[in-house]
Amino acid sequence: MEHYLLEMKGIGKTFPGVVALDDVSLFIRYGEVHALMGENGAGKSTLIKVLTGIYPRDAGEIRFDRNGFSPTGAAQVQQAGISTIYQELNLIPHLSVCENIFIGREPKTRGLIDWKTAEKRAKEILTDMGLQEVDVLGPLRKQSVATQQMVAIARAISIDAKLVVMDEPTSSLSEKEVQTLFRVIETLKEQNISIIFISHKLDEVFEICDRATILRDGRLVGQYSIGDLTKLKLVSLMIGRDATSVLGKNKSVSTGREDRQVVLKATNLSRARRTTEISIDINSGEIVGVAGLLGSGRTELARILFGDEMQDRGRIEIGGKSARMKSPRDAIRLGLGFCSEDRKEEGLFPNMSVMDNMTMAVLPELSKAGVLSRRAQLEIAQSYIDKMGIATSGPNQPMKELSGGNQQKVLLARWLCKNPMLMILDEPTRGIDVGGKAEIENLITELAGDGVAILMISSEMEELIRSCDRIAVLSEGRKVGELAAKEISEEHIMQLMAHGSDSREDVHGP
């Protein structure tokens, strides 16, 4: 009989009105990378939270390293040798990077915290992860979401663990950081450490995982060797029907319409030392992509365009008129919308309903003489729940009860119901499952069809290639090139990203 590192058998977990897990089992071998797969709301995060004792289980048995396991607190989980990166990063923004890596288990000399050693080790770990430039003593909140995610990973692997659980570790990382993470995973594997890997990115699962357990609607579909699966088969098992339609989606070929108008025109935007002379324009009905590695300046560009940061030099015109935006409020007034990559920053109100979270930005428009029309509010909410396939028991369900991917959809809907003229989307499908990705991509294409101008930032190249009419490539805060529809290919994007500033002279365009 094979001995597993982790055996979870017959696990059941019910929330009021929802059976999140029903008779689910999970067996993890020593030293394997095991994918936990399923659509948004399938029960993946819940299964992990049952494992780590965040939710008590209603049924089932857990054995870890051959002992019964029913932890009641984080310390016990860590002691047993389980280290977890949760889907919602649970770091402390105002503490330093170093403190975040070691909090709760700082190296000590004679009972005193030895910050010198902590700092040195933090530097070593981050250097191994290709992040030698991060200021380990500076506050974490100064770092990008991607770096924060790497810090969470650094924390997880610096714990002496037998099992590392990663719930969507790569959702905000770009190709290069993902490769770094995969190297780290290989090293863990060599030390016979097991990894549970949750991701909606199928390529990654096929690249790094040995086996997969698939859940659907809180039930176990089965356990498979990755070698026995194809992408099509995996997705079909996840969604419970043939997946050809989901995976076979074609790129929406843009029809170079004549009646397009320039919605936004930015010329030579520079800010501090991080954004240098970026020019970009976006027409109505057009989807313009922004590609680039972590730190290439994608998010900063979005923030400048949305008035969240002011450029030092350069100008922005909206609808042909010079626009001086001092804050996002100005941008919104001018018809811009911005769905940021960071859910927390977007202002997600966990205790409020799906409907209130979704419609908060349009409440003034739904009110007459100060009286809010609940019916109009309900209608809007229901229509986006349907359109975007949001898995919820209804508009009144508290936001915190939705799975991560479904929360993301609600936030996107919040902006869409404002009918913006230009929508800036920073990682719009982050954390969303394959089916949902296709739905959101369709929705974006539809919006463009209605004349909305769209600026889309994504670290998933395939997504940009599928959706965009044009793609601007950034590197080190500069625009190193722009690809027209017929030039768009993974190879071209990679070339531009890789050569960065060297190839700047070779590319034409504004």
Ligand X SMILES: Nc1ncnc2c1ncn2[C@@H]1O[C@H](COP(=O)(O)OP(=O)(O)OP(=O)(O)O)[C@@H](O)[C@H]1O
Q: Where does this chain bind ligand X (CB under 6 A)?
A: 15, 18, 20, 38, 40-46, 87, 400-406, 433
Q: Interacting stretch for Mg ion, rule CB under 5 A, among 13-21, 219-227, 403-411, 462-470?
A: 403-411
CA-CA distance, 166 to 85, in Å (whole number)? 5
- 45 lines the binding site for Mg ion (CB under 5 A): yes
The binder of 406, among Mg ion, ligand X, none, by C-beta within 5 to 8 A per type, is ligand X
State which of positions 139-198 bind Mg ion (CB under 5 A): none
Q: Interacting stretch for Mg ion, rule CB under 5 A, among 37-45, 343-351, 417-425, 484-492?
A: 37-45
Q: What is the nearest approach in angstroms of ligand X to the Cβ of residue 386?
A: 17
Q: What is the nearest approach in angstroms of Mg ion to the Cβ of residue 45?
A: 3
Q: What is the nearest approach in angstroms of ligand X to the Cβ of residue 15?
A: 3
- 78 lines the binding site for Mg ion (CB under 5 A): no
Cβ-defined contacts of 128-134 (< 8 Å, 24+)? 128/184, 129/153, 129/154, 129/180, 129/181, 129/184, 130/176, 130/177, 130/180, 134/97
Residues 6+ apart with CB under 8 A from 505: none
CA-CA distance, 337 to 414, in Å (whole number)? 10
Amino acid at position 355, single letter: M
- Beta carbon nearer to Mg ion, 45 or 275: 45
**Nearest to Mg ion by Cβ — which residue?**
45
- Beta carbon nearer to ligand X, 32 or 433: 433
Three-state DSSP at 115 gives: helix
Tokens representing 24? Answer: 């689910």
Distance from chain centroid for Cα 360:
23
- Beta carbon nearer to ligand X, 38 or 292: 38
Residues 6+ apart with CB under 8 A from 51: 6, 8, 62, 82, 165
Backbone torsion region of residue 66, taken as left when φ is above 0, otherwise alpha when ψ lies between -120 and 50, otherwise beta: left
Q: What is the nearest approach in angstroms of ligand X to the Cβ of residue 404?
A: 3
- Beta carbon nearer to ligand X, 198 or 266: 198
The binder of 436, among Mg ion, ligand X, none, by C-beta within 5 to 8 A per type, is none
Cβ-defined contacts of 8-11 (< 8 Å, 24+)? 8/47, 8/50, 8/51, 8/60, 8/61, 8/62, 9/60, 9/61, 9/62, 10/59, 10/60, 10/61, 11/47, 11/50, 11/57, 11/59, 11/60, 11/62
Q: Quick count: other Cβ atoms within 10 Å of Cβ 376? A: 16
Q: What is the nearest approach in angstroms of ligand X to the Cβ of residue 167?
A: 7
The binder of 212, among ligand X, Mg ion, none, by C-beta within 5 to 8 A per type, is none
- Beta carbon nearer to ligand X, 58 or 308: 58
Q: Interacting stretch for Mg ion, rule CB under 5 A, among 58-66, 96-104, 201-209, 404-412?
A: 404-412
Q: Quick count: other Cβ atoms within 10 Å of Cβ 210? A: 17
CB 45 within 8 A of CB 202: no
State which of positions 82-141 bind Mg ion (CB under 5 A): 87
- Beta carbon nearer to Mg ion, 153 or 325: 153
Of the candidates 114, 133, 168, 121, the one whose C-alpha atom is nearest the C-alpha of residue 476 is: 133
The binder of 20, among Mg ion, ligand X, none, by C-beta within 5 to 8 A per type, is ligand X
- Beta carbon nearer to ligand X, 303 or 343: 343
- Beta carbon nearer to Mg ion, 170 or 467: 170
- 404 lines the binding site for Mg ion (CB under 5 A): yes
The binder of 98, among Mg ion, ligand X, none, by C-beta within 5 to 8 A per type, is none
CB 58 within 8 A of CB 81: no
- Beta carbon nearer to Mg ion, 200 or 470: 200
Number of residues that bind Mg ion (CB under 5 A): 3
Q: What is the nearest approach in angstroms of ligand X to the Cβ of residue 201?
A: 12
- Beta carbon nearer to Mg ion, 217 or 330: 217
Q: Specify the DSSP class assigned to residue 65.
A: T
Q: What is the nearest approach in angstroms of ligand X to the Cβ of residue 126?
A: 27
| 347 φ, ψ (degrees, to nearest 5) | 80, 75
Residues 6+ apart with CB under 8 A from 374: none
Of the candidates 174, 102, 93, the one whose C-alpha atom is nearest the C-alpha of residue 139 is: 93
| 105 φ, ψ (degrees, to nearest 5) | -150, 45
Q: What is the nearest approach in angstroms of ligand X to the Cβ of residue 202?
A: 13
Q: What is the nearest approach in angstroms of ligand X to the Cβ of residue 331?
A: 29
Q: What is the nearest approach in angstroms of ligand X to the Cβ of residue 46?
A: 3
- Beta carbon nearer to Mg ion, 49 or 265: 49
Q: What is the nearest approach in angstroms of Mg ion to the Cβ of residue 298?
A: 25
Alpha-carbon distance values, 153 to 36, 372, 494 (Å): 18, 45, 26
The residues that touch Mg ion, with contacts defined as CB under 5 A, are 45, 87, 404
